[in-house]
Amino acid sequence: MSTDPTQQPSIALAADATAAVPSLLRSAGSPFGTTAIQLPYGSYVSIYHPGYSENLEIFSLPAYDASEGIIGVHYGTVAAACQIVACNQAGTLWDEDALRVDLSFNDILAAGVYYYYILGIIDIAALTIHSN
């Protein structure tokens, strides 16, 4: 490794690191000479605040995880991130159709838009805002 502080270290994925990634996520060109992962348009899990009708996005995560044909993000990771942003308040995720997300910790949450509701503060009126 170079000791020149002006040079950026190169980061490369091992050839077997991308073996489990679906082919639609693999790209031949990479600035590091190995496989780079490119996401299809809209491949993000976006978390929104449920109390605002103007759709206040809290954060979004790139959907780099895949399992059984589902491209998304590890559900446990999303749930932990939501809880951190909500000052350690436990909650639940709901989709755009006002359906509660019911996944296990290690499942993949499909790319899309979700709303995080703090337990005990679920507002049915706010749910109807997003179901229209």
Q: Given the DSSP bridges, would you call strands 112-118 and 44-48 parallel, antiparallel or unpaired? A: parallel
Q: Which CATH architecture has domain 41-131?
A: Roll (3.10)
Six token digits for residue 79: 């749930």
pLDDT, position 9? 36
CB of 109 closer than 8 Å to CB of 78: yes
Grade residue 35 by pLDDT with cuts at 50, 70 and 90: low
How much is the pLDDT for 112? Answer: 93
Question: Does the structure show a pLDDT above 80 at 5?
Answer: no
Domain locations in the chain as residue ranges: 1-38, 41-131
Residues 85 and 50: beta-carbon distance below 8 Å:
no
E strands, 36-125, are 36-37, 44-48, 57-62, 65-67, 70-74, 91-95, 108-110, 112-118
79-94 pLDDT, tens digit per residue, is 999 999 999 999 999 9
Q: What angle do CA 27, 106, 47 make, to 5 degrees?
A: 70
Regarding predicted confidence, which is higher, 22 or 70?
70
Q: What is the pTM of this model?
A: 0.63
User: Is pLDDT at 20 greater than 60 in this prediction?
Assistant: no
Taking only the tens place, the pLDDT of each residue in 62-76 is: 998 888 888 899 999
pLDDT confidence of 2, banded at 50, 70, 90? very low
Whole-number pLDDT of residue 39: 61
